[in-house]
């Protein structure tokens, strides 16, 4: 087992990783920008090193600074977290070249799956259905128009690297393609250091469903249930739940079979997520996130498993602590992302408690919410025996959560969760747009 691990990330996920490492007896080294000097992950780590200024390109995306820090502090492993360089195969190679353990899949596998253009081809190879789209990257207006004519409008321009809704644009007519290609590419370059984009047919109001996977690098694959991530604003997930209210046992089995075939055949190692768009009884491969996901806690609740622990174990060469063939799902879990609507200093924080309630966050009274990074400041996750009970528990927990000093989206999350359209379970990715005006979100 590894002894010291550098967390190449910040915010809530860095806090999450540090806590599991503490339980495993692994020392942690935090990295931080000048804007994060007093951040919670810095306080929780055994050692912390400043790696640059607030701008991500000069700190959290600086491969040289990260590798140098890991080596100089005597680390034997690097955990990339989510976002930033977590799906960057070149960074993974540099980590391994430095003689360090990479907490993630092999770089060559990241190339296959982290790049969404290549991932589509890989999915087809292993028998997974995909939506119509471009056969490769798109860089010119002429090529984009040709693909759009074949697919039919609307189409969606997507970043080949990364995720989280960055580098994505929906286009409804030829005249808007060129400008949106440029915007999507600029966003992708700024967020993932890769401006490559491609085009897919845009399905209107499908469900967004993903399967959580843990794989041991030897062909063993555990499917940790599915998550429904259909409540989104501008492609940014807001609410996630497991299981999905729109997935039948038969569909779940078909998805799991395809996922096991894909991840097992590639000898995938670590945590990963395979994402699908669901329309009626049909589902289409969308992408693979070759890393842990923000919304992993709902899968942890319904399976009773620490996914960060399993990720560290298998990437360190240890066996899973679970039997891949006997993962059971129990109850229902729902997560509401808590996003900051303004930067500033937190002057008061009251966290909800009680059975089946969890708040993952980097906030504390006195913490600073920086304008330089993602707006998500926490995740409120609940579990109960069924969906109605879990919904009631989440509403109660949202009522108890108090954040002062910065504006957060608690009120809008409560409005969505309390609305009959959400409570019915019969909705797709168009739900937020439908409710935005009605509820004044």
Supply the pTM of this predicted model. 0.91
pLDDT, one tens digit per residue, over 187-224 is 999 888 889 999 999 999 999 999 999 999 999 999 99
Check the CA dihedral 112-118-121-123 and report its sign: positive
Q: For the purposes of burial, counting CB atoms within 10 Å of the CB of 235, is it exposed (0-12), middle (13-18) or buried (19 or more)? A: middle
- For the stretch 52-95, pLDDT in tens is 999 999 999 999 999 999 999 999 999 999 999 999 999 999 99
Dist. CA 195–CA 172, nearest whole Å:
22
At residue 117 the predicted structure's pLDDT band, cuts being 50, 70 and 90, is confident
pLDDT at 332: 98
Select which of 120, 233, 291, 309 is catalytic.
291
| Model confidence pLDDT, tens digit, residues 97-107 | 999 999 999 99
Q: What mean pLDDT is reported for the chain?
A: 95
Q: CA 38, CA 41: separation in Å to the nearest integer? A: 9
Per-domain residue ranges of the chain:
4-103, 132-201, 207-439
Model confidence band, residue 119 (pLDDT cutoffs 50, 70, 90): confident
- Return the H-helix or E-strand segment holding 242: strand 236-242
Fold entry, domain 4-103 = Rossmann fold (3.40.50)
**Measured distance CA(292)–CA(91) in Å, rounded:** 16
Taking CA atoms, 150 is separated from 117, 132, 276, 279, 355, in Å, by 17, 8, 22, 20, 52
What gap in Å lies between CA 237 and CA 241, rounded to an integer?
11
Helices (H), 47-115: 63-72, 89-97, 107-113
3-class state of residue 114 by DSSP: coil
C-alpha 192/C-alpha 166 separation (Å) is: 9
Return the pLDDT at 235. Answer: 86
Same fold, 4-103 and 207-439: no
Q: Is the pLDDT of residue 269 over 90?
A: yes
pLDDT mean over 129-142:
90
| Cα-based angle 356, 300, 109 (whole degrees, multiple of 5) | 160
Per-residue pLDDT tens over the stretch 309-348:
999 999 999 999 999 999 999 999 999 999 999 999 999 9
pLDDT value, residue 121: 87
pLDDT in the model for residue 331:
98
Count of alpha carbons within 13 angstroms of residue 408, beta-carbon side: 27
Q: Tell me how crowded residue 252 is: count the other CB atoms within 10 A of its CB.
A: 18
CATH number of 132-201: 3.30.1490.20
Sign of torsion over alpha carbons 348, 353, 357, 360: positive
For the cut 80, the answer to whether the pLDDT of residue 114 exceeds it is no
Superfamily of 207-439 according to CATH: ATP-grasp fold, B domain (3.30.470.20)
Band (pLDDT 50/70/90 cuts) for residue 165 is confident
Residue 393 designated active-site: no
346-387 pLDDT, tens per residue?
999 999 999 999 999 999 999 999 999 999 999 999 999 999
């Amino acid at each position: 087992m590894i002894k010291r691990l550098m967390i190449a990330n910040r915010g809530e996920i860095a806090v999450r990783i540090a806590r599991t490492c503490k339980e495993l007896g692994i020392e942690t080294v935090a990295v931080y920008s000048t804007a994060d000097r007093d951040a919670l992950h810095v306080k929780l780590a055994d050692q912390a090193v400043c790696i640059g200024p607030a701008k991500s390109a000069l700190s959290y995306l600086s491969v040289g600074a990260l590798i140098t820090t890991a080596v100089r502090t005597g680390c034997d492993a690097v955990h990339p977290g989510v976002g930033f360089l977590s799906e960057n195969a070149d960074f993974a190679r540099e980590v391994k070249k430095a003689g360090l353990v990479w907490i993630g899949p092999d770089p060559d596998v990241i190339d296959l799956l982290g790049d969404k253009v290549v991932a589509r081809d890989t999915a087809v190879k292993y028998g997974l259905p995909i939506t119509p789209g471009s056969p490769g990257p798109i860089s010119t207006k002429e090529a984009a128009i040709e693909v759009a004519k074949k697919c039919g409008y609307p189409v969606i321009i997507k970043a080949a690297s990364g995720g989280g809704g960055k580098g994505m644009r929906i286009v409804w007519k030829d005249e808007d393609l060129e400008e949106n290609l440029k915007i999507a590419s600029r966003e992708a370059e700024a967020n993932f250091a890769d401006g490559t984009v491609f085009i897919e047919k845009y399905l209107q109001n499908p469900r967004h469903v993903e399967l959580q996977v843990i794989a041991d690098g030897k062909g063993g694959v555990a499917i940790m249930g599915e998550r429904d991530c259909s409540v989104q604003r501008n492609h940014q997930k807001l609410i996630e739940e497991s299981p999905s209210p729109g997935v039948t046992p038969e569909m779940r089995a078909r998805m799991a079979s395809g996922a096991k075939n894909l991840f097992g055949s590639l000898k995938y190692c670590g945590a990963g997520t395979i994402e699908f768009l669901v329309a009626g009884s049909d589902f289409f491969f969308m992408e693979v996130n070759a890393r842990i996901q923000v919304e992993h806690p709902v899968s942890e609740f319904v399976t009773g498993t620490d996914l960060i622990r399993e990720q560290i174990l298998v990437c360190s060469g240890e066996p899973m602590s679970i039997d891949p063939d006997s993962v059971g799902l129990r109850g229902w879990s729902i997560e509401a992302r808590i996003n900051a609507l303004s930067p500033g200093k937190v002057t008061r924080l009251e966290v909800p408690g009680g059975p089946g309630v969890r708040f993952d966050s980097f906030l504390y009274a006195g913490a600073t919410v920086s304008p330089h990074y993602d707006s998500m400041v926490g995740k409120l996750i609940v579990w109960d025996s069924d969906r109605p009970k879990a919904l009631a528990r989440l509403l109660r927990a949202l009522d108890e959560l108090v954040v002062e000093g910065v504006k957060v989206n608690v009120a809008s999350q409560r409005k969505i969760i309390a609305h009959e359209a959400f409570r019915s379970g019969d909705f797709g990715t168009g739900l937020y747009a439908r409710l935005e005006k009605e509820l004044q979100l």
